[in-house]
């Protein structure tokens, strides 16, 4: 039986994916870390989200459940659903700032997403260092080396503050627009927690 032919496009995509994986492995070697400090597609990512450290206590995923859900809703609203990559910038405390910056730069070049969003101050510092910038100001996207970069403030903390959450979303939308992504609207609100029934409480 004749094997199905593989198109030139599929071959090119496979070659690109292999190259990206090799470059990501090189980036991990630079900082002496493992592949568990990153997650997402190596081909076709539109946004890279950065965090300094894994959620504590570290779950199977890099982001805590609530943060991961909020990031997923934001990515969908920004037109990048299922096209996001997450990178931990400080998986090892002993890694030098120079090694962190080099790893971040190599990883971002490998994934080649047009937009990069730092979700906390420490990862924003590492991102700025990787692109040889003095700093990234919260809510002010910049262009550097062909990519759009943004620091949205302390994203996880903003989930409990309506004003901070609105500012984070505004920054995400601005950097996505700058990178050429087409936002579809505001993120969908999470399902509301059911309110306790006061009558039921009184019967206890």
Residue 100 lies in a domain: yes
What's the pLDDT at 2?
Answer: 55
Given a contact cutoff of 8 angstroms between Cβ atoms, the answer to whether 87 and 116 are in contact is no
Choose between 7 and 183: higher pLDDT. Answer: 183
Name the 3-class secondary structure at 135: coil
Residue 46 lies in a domain: yes
User: What is the C-alpha to C-alpha distance for residues 42 and 62, in angstroms, rounded to an integer?
Assistant: 16
Q: The domain containing residue 67 runs over which residues?
A: 12-183
What's the pLDDT at 163?
Answer: 94
Choose between 142 and 55: higher pLDDT. Answer: 142
What's the pLDDT at 35?
Answer: 66
What's the pLDDT at 76?
Answer: 93
pLDDT at residue 132 is higher than 90: yes
Please give the model's pTM, rounded to 2 decimal places: 0.82
Q: Dihedral of the CA atoms 35, 86, 129, 101 (nearest 10)?
A: 10
What's the pLDDT at 28?
Answer: 72
User: What is the C-alpha to C-alpha distance for residues 54 and 62, in angstroms, rounded to an integer?
Assistant: 5
pLDDT at residue 43 is higher than 90: no
pLDDT digits (tens, 9 = 90+) for 84-109: 999 999 988 788 899 999 999 999 99
Choose between 198 and 90: higher pLDDT. Answer: 90
User: What is the C-alpha to C-alpha distance for residues 115 and 84, in angstroms, rounded to an integer?
Assistant: 10
What's the pLDDT at 139?
Answer: 92
**Residue showing tokens 């190596």:** 42
Tell me the β-bridge partners of 86: 39, 49
Q: What are the b/e assignments for 176-198, b being 16+ CB within 10 Å?
A: bebbebebeeebeeeeeeeeeee
What's the pLDDT at 57?
Answer: 63
What DSSP string runs through 27-72?
HHHHHT--GGGEES-SSS--EEEEESS--SS--SSSS-HHHHHHHH
What's the pLDDT at 41?
Answer: 83
Residue 5 lies in a domain: no
The domain that holds 84 is classified in CATH as 3.40.470.10
pLDDT at residue 23 is higher than 80: no
Q: What are phi and psi of 174, to 5 degrees?
A: -65, -45
Residue 192 lies in a domain: no
User: What is the C-alpha to C-alpha distance for residues 37 and 51, in angstroms, rounded to an integer?
Assistant: 10
Choose between 91 and 138: higher pLDDT. Answer: 138
Split into its structural domains, the chain has a count of 1
Residue 132 lies in a domain: yes
For the chain, what percent of residues have pLDDT higher than 70? Answer: 80
pLDDT at residue 204 is higher than 60: no
Residue 43 lies in a domain: yes
Residue 85 lies in a domain: yes
């Amino acid at each position: 039986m004749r094997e199905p032919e593989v198109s030139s496009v599929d071959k090119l995509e496979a070659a690109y994916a292999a190259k990206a994986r090799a470059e990501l492995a090189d980036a991990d070697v630079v900082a002496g870390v493992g592949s568990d400090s990153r997650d997402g597609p190596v081909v076709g990512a539109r946004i890279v989200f950065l965090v300094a450290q894994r959620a504590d206590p570290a779950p199977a995923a890099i982001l805590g459940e609530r943060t991961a859900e909020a990031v997923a809703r934001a990515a969908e609203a920004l037109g990048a659903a299922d096209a996001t990559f997450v990178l931990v910038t400080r998986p090892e405390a002993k890694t030098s700032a120079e090694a962190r910056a080099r790893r971040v730069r190599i990883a971002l070049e490998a994934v080649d997403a047009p937009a990069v969003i730092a979700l906390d101050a420490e990862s924003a510092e590492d991102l700025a260092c990787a692109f040889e910038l003095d700093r990234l100001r919260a809510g002010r996207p910049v262009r550097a080396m062909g990519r759009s970069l943004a620091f949205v403030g302390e994203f996880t903390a903003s989930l409990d503050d309506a004003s901070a959450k609105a500012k984070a979303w505004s920054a995400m939308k601005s950097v996505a627009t700058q990178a050429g992504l087409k936002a579809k609207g505001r993120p969908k609100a999470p399902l509301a927690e059911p309110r306790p029934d006061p009558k039921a409480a009184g019967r206890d």
